[in-house]
């Protein structure tokens, strides 16, 4: 266990060093309109932003002012449906819509829809032509839950389209390419990368030959990845990644507005058990030398320090032992918590040093540790839908192992204390 703590300390020190430059570049522009709270892709065209919602929503492109974030136009794509639009891209003459969301890996109708920019500029109702594709190495289309055949990112380079998969199982990505002209194609593999997180969008600049991707980690911490001097035959060669220093932000779309300037959008995210609320927003950031520069390797600490005990909050007049909560329905006002014992957790909440979960790669076991002097009355694990999958009550240790078997996915561990609940998310893979 001592070795595990030392390794964790090194990892945390490396991450804090690597993310410092990135954090200084990120600014929140503002909240997006409610009409696009499920924003899933983003491009910058004709002085405005264009975005769209994902699965089950209307086949509509929304044009946003970059300053006020108000909707300037709604452009209906009349001849197609929004099965699962997950990304949008462009070249000089066309806008491309990626209808290839595939969480469970069972889709056989993956597509990219193509719209003329000239038609887009002249009408609020447009028609699209369609490119159909499949992956050259996908053999099974069975629904086995979260899949490695999902995708939410692509870009256009010369006369080719490159898809970057979002691998729920392995937290990596595979790049596939095919023609950008209407037809039916088998997508060929042109690169792969492991253990980077969940890539959700990409933007490519032909002038600088730079690829930038956006995504989030297993604990909803967004990151940006950069490939300078892109090699088309090995898309992830030279890939460098930095955290953006944010918490509980489901980054979904990214676009370039200048040589080093970018916007990224986040989808509205809410959970009631535990209560996590993250509004749909637009952020800006810069790509600088500091962001792609490799940080110095930190020297191993002689001995890991004892985590600092948090200040004791004032005891309530009548503290009550919390009951195991039932899975609530989403409230009409997502910012109001239905259970007063569950504090609201947002990306700005001060959770550092309270509850951590880490994985021992040698044994694949997940360990938790909470720094508190309060009694822990219970543990509950929830899946991403808010469903309770495991609970433990009684005398709960403040350090221990998560012994319950969990399938690959994102989960939330909630520890019930005498004066509230502390929770964090983690990924099983």
CB 289 within 8 A of CB 353: no
pLDDT in tens, 274-294: 677 899 999 999 997 545 444
Q: What residue spans define the domains of the chain?
A: 23-288, 355-428
Which CATH class, in words, describes the domain spanning 355-428? mainly beta
Q: What is the dihedral angle through the alpha carbons of 99, 101, 102, 107, rounded to the nearest 10 degrees?
A: -10
Instruction: Write down the pLDDT at residue 283.
Output: 97
β-pairing, 85-90 with 94-99? antiparallel
Instruction: Write down the pLDDT at residue 385.
Output: 67
CB 382 within 8 A of CB 392: no
Nearest to 334 by CA among 410, 388, 252, 267: 267
Here the tokens at position 109 are 């109708």
β-pairing, 129-135 with 183-193? parallel
User: Is pLDDT at 414 greater than 80 in this prediction?
Assistant: yes
d(Cα 62, Cα 49) in Å, to the nearest integer?
8
User: Is pLDDT at 162 greater than 80 in this prediction?
Assistant: yes
Burial 384-407 (b: 16+ CB within 10 A, else e): eebeebbebeeebeeeeebeeeee
User: Who wins on pLDDT, 289 or 377?
Assistant: 377
Question: What is the rounded average pLDDT of the residues 134-146?
Answer: 93
pLDDT in tens, 13-47: 333 333 334 444 899 999 999 999 999 999 999 99
Question: What is the rounded average pLDDT of the residues 99-116?
Answer: 97
Please give the CATH number for the structural domain made up of 23-288: 2.120.10.30
Instruction: Write down the pLDDT at residue 419.
Output: 66
């Amino acid at each position: 266990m001592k070795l595990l703590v030392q390794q964790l300390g090194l990892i945390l020190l490396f991450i804090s060093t690597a993310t410092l430059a990135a954090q200084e570049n990120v600014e929140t522009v503002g909240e997006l309109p409610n009409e696009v709270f499920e924003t899933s892709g983003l491009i910058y065209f004709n002085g405005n932003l264009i975005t769209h919602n994902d699965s089950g929503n209307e086949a509509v492109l929304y044009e946003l002012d970059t300053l006020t974030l108000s909707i300037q136009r709604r452009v209906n794509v009349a001849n197609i449906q929004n099965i699962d639009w997950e990304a949008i891209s462009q070249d000089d003459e066309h806008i491309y819509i990626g209808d290839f969301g595939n969480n469970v890996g069972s889709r056989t109708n993956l597509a990219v829809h193509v719209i003329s920019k000239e038609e887009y500029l002249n009408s609020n109702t447009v028609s699209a032509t369609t490119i159909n594709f499949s992956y050259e190495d996908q053999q099974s289309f069975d629904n086995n839950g979260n899949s490695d055949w999902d995708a939410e990112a692509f870009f256009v380079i010369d006369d080719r389209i490159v898809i970057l998969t979002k691998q729920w199982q392995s937290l990596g990505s595979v790049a596939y390419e095919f023609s950008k002209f209407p037809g039916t194609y088998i997508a060929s593999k042109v690169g792969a990368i492991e253990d980077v997180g969940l890539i959700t969008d990409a933007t490519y600049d032909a002038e600088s030959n730079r690829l930038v991707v956006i995504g989030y980690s297993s604990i909803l911490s967004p990151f940006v990845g950069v490939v300078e001097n892109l090699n088309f035959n090995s898309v992830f060669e030279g890939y460098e990644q930095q955290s953006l220093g944010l918490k509980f932000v489901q980054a979904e779309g990214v676009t370039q507005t200048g040589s080093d300037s970018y916007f990224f959008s986040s989808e509205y995210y809410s959970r009631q058990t535990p209560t996590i609320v993250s509004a749909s927003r637009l952020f800006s950031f810069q790509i600088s030398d500091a962001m792609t520069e490799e940080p110095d390797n930190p020297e191993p600490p002689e001995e890991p320090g004892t985590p600092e005990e948090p200040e004791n909050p004032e005891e309530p007049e009548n503290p009550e032992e919390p009951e195991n909560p039932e899975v609530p329905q989403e409230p009409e006002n997502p910012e109001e918590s239905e259970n007063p014992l569950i504090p609201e957790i947002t990306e700005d909440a001060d959770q550092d040093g309270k509850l951590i979960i880490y994985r021992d790669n040698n044994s694949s076991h997940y360990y938790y540790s909470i720094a508190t002097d309060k009694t822990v009355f219970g543990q509950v694990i929830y899946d991403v839908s808010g469903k309770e999958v495991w609970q433990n009550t009684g005398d709960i240790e403040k350090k221990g192992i998560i012994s319950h078997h969990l399938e690959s996915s994102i989960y939330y561990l909630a520890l019930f204390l005498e004066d509230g609940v502390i929770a964090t998310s983690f990924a099983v893979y």
